[in-house]
Amino acid sequence: MIRVAIIGAGIGAEHLEGYRALPERFTVAALCDLDTARAVKATGGDPGIAISDDLEAVLADPAIDLIDVCLPPHLHFPVSMKALQAGKHVICEKPIVRSLDEADQLQSAAEASGRQVFPVFQYRYGPGLAQLKALQAAGLAGRAYVASLETHWNRDAAYYAIPWRGTWAGESGGALLGHAIHAHDLLCHVLGPVAEVFAMADTRVNAIETEDCAALAFRMESGALATSSVTLGAGNDTSRLRFCFEGFTAESGTEPYAPAIGVWTFTARTPVTQDQIDAVLEDVTPQQPRFAGYLHAIADALAGQGGQEVTLADGRRSIELVTAIYASIREGGVKKLPLARGAAFYGGWMPDQP
C-alpha cells in the first residue's frame, strides 16, 4: 500500500478522487493546505485523512511514501526538491518545473535520492488513446502524415481573480503552459519527439500578463507535420485531436479535460480496411481514465512493473518543447530541438530572462 500526502487542495481534490478509485493500491494519509477549511471540504470530512497546514511536518512523516504536489506553478520545483530530499517519491502537477535547468536539477536530485518523479499528464489515460495505441501497435497506422490540435477554452475575468493566475511570477506562462501543454504532450505521446517548432502568441481575451491565444506549427522527428490552435476566448471549452496516418485517420471527441475518454472515430484508408480497424478495437482492454489510469500506472511502476507511467524524462521533454515555443515567440523563426545545455532560455523563459 502506497501512503500519500497531497499538497494543495485545489486540483488536489481531483487527485484525491483518483486515489479513491484505487483503494487497494493507495491510501491518502494527509492533505496539506494553508487553508485548512478548504482541505477539509476537499476530503468531504474523511476522518482517515489528516489535515495539516505544515508542509515541513508532512515531509518529515516517515509513514508517507509519496508526496503529490498540487500547488501553483512557481512552487512545483522547490517543493518537489524538498520531497526528494526527504526521501519521498513525487507526483507533480504541470508544469513540473519552469526551466530546463530546473528539470536537470530535479533529475539529479531524483537519482541521488533513489526516488521517482512523475509529472502529471492524465490526459493520456482513457479508452480513446488506448484504442489509438493498439492500432499503432498492430501495425495499421503506417507513417504519420499530419495532425491538428485544438485547445479552445473559455476563461474570463472571474477565472483570473485568483492573484497568481495570469502572471509570469505566479503561473509561469499562459495558455501554452497551463492549458495546451496537455495537447502537446499527447501529440508527442502519439507521434514521437518534435524536431522543429514555430509559434506565435498574443494576449487578446483578458487583461493579463501572459498569452491567451496562440498558433503553432511542428515538424516531428518522423517528418510528420502538425498544427496547434490555442485560445481562452472560445464560447465553450473544447479540445480536439486529429491524426492522419497512412492507414487511417483518428479523431477524438471534444471533451475539454479528457480527450482520451470520449468516443473516437477511426476511419480506414486503403489498403487498410475498416474490418481490420474494427477487429483490433474489439480486443482493446478497457483502461481506467484520467487520474485513476495515471495513478494505476504509477503504482505499477513503484512495484517494479513500469512501462505505462509518465516519466520524469517525459516531463523534461515537455519543458524542452515549452522552452522552444517561447523562444520562437520571443525571437521569431523556427526553433530546432533538442536544445543543448546552455542554449538560449535554458535558464527559463520568463520575460526578464535572457
* Residue 26 covered by a domain: yes
Sequence-ordered list of residues with C-beta below 8 angstroms from that of 326, at least 6 positions apart, any chain: 173, 176, 199, 345, 349
CATH number of the domain enclosing 95 = 3.40.50.720
Q: Where are the beta strands (DSSP E) in 163-260?
A: 194-202, 213-220, 225-231, 233-245, 248-251
What letter would DSSP give residue 340?
Answer: P
State residue 344's pLDDT score.
86
State residue 288's pLDDT score.
87
**Are 145 and 99 in the same domain?**
no
Q: What share of the chain is helix, strand, coil (3-state, %, to 5)?
A: 35, 25, 40
Rg (CA), the chain: 20
Q: How far apart are the first and last CA of the chain?
A: 46
Q: What angle (nearest 5°) sits at the alpha carbon of residue 10, between those of residues 5 and 11?
A: 80
Answer for the pair 297, 133: CB distance below 8 angstroms, yes or no.
no
Mapped onto helix, strand or coil, the DSSP state of residue 93 is coil
Answer for the pair 199, 345: CB distance below 8 angstroms, yes or no.
no
Choose one of 122, 149, 165: the last residue of a domain. 122
* Residue 24 covered by a domain: yes
* Residue 66 covered by a domain: yes
Q: What is the largest CA-CA distance in the chain?
A: 61
Answer for the pair 269, 256: CB distance below 8 angstroms, yes or no.
no
Cα–Cα dist 70/32, whole Å: 10
**Are 100 and 151 in the same domain?**
no
* Residue 139 CB neighbours (<10 A): 11
Answer for the pair 337, 321: CB distance below 8 angstroms, yes or no.
yes
Cα–Cα dist 172/323, whole Å: 12
**Are 107 and 135 in the same domain?**
no
**Are 147 and 276 in the same domain?**
yes
Residue entry with cell 543543448: 340
Q: Give 2-36 pLDDT, tens digit per residue.
A: 999 999 999 999 999 999 999 999 999 999 999 99
Mapped onto helix, strand or coil, the DSSP state of residue 13 is helix
* Residue 312 covered by a domain: no
Number of H helices, E strands in the chain: 12, 14
**Are 74 and 21 in the same domain?**
yes
Helix axis angle, 181-191 relative to 127-137, nearest 10°?
Answer: 20
Choose one of 122, 142, 163: the last residue of a domain. 122
DSSP codes, 18-86: HHHT-TTTEEEEEEE-S-HHHHHHHHTT-TTSEEES-HHHHHH-TT--EEEE-S-GGGHHHHHHHHHHT
**Are 131 and 106 in the same domain?**
no
* Residue 220 covered by a domain: yes
Sequence-ordered list of residues with C-beta below 8 angstroms from that of 258, at least 6 positions apart, any chain: 123, 126, 289, 290
How many domains does one find in the chain? 2
What is the number of alpha carbons within 13 Å of residue 134 lying toward its C-beta?
A: 19
Sequence-ordered list of residues with C-beta below 8 angstroms from that of 200, at least 6 positions apart, any chain: 214, 215, 216, 329
**Counting beta carbons within 10 angstroms of the beta carbon of residue 332, is it exposed (0 to 12), middle (13 to 18) or buried (19 or more)?**
exposed
**Are 12 and 138 in the same domain?**
no
**Are 204 and 240 in the same domain?**
yes
| Percentage, residues of the chain above pLDDT 70 | 99
Cα–Cα dist 211/231, whole Å: 9
pTM, entire model: 0.95
State residue 353's pLDDT score.
54
For the chain, residues with pLDDT lower than 70 are 353-354
Average of per-residue pLDDT values in the chain: 96
**Are 73 and 204 in the same domain?**
no
* Residue 336 covered by a domain: no
State residue 261's pLDDT score.
85
* Residue 350 covered by a domain: no
CATH number of the domain enclosing 197 = 3.30.360.10
* Residue 55 covered by a domain: yes
Choose one of 98, 122, 146: the last residue of a domain. 122
213-220 and 194-202 strand pairing? antiparallel
Residue 71: strand pairing partners? none
State residue 354's pLDDT score.
45
Mapped onto helix, strand or coil, the DSSP state of residue 191 is helix
**Are 111 and 200 in the same domain?**
no
**Are 99 and 141 in the same domain?**
no
Q: 105 lies in which domain range? A: 2-122
**Are 173 and 267 in the same domain?**
yes
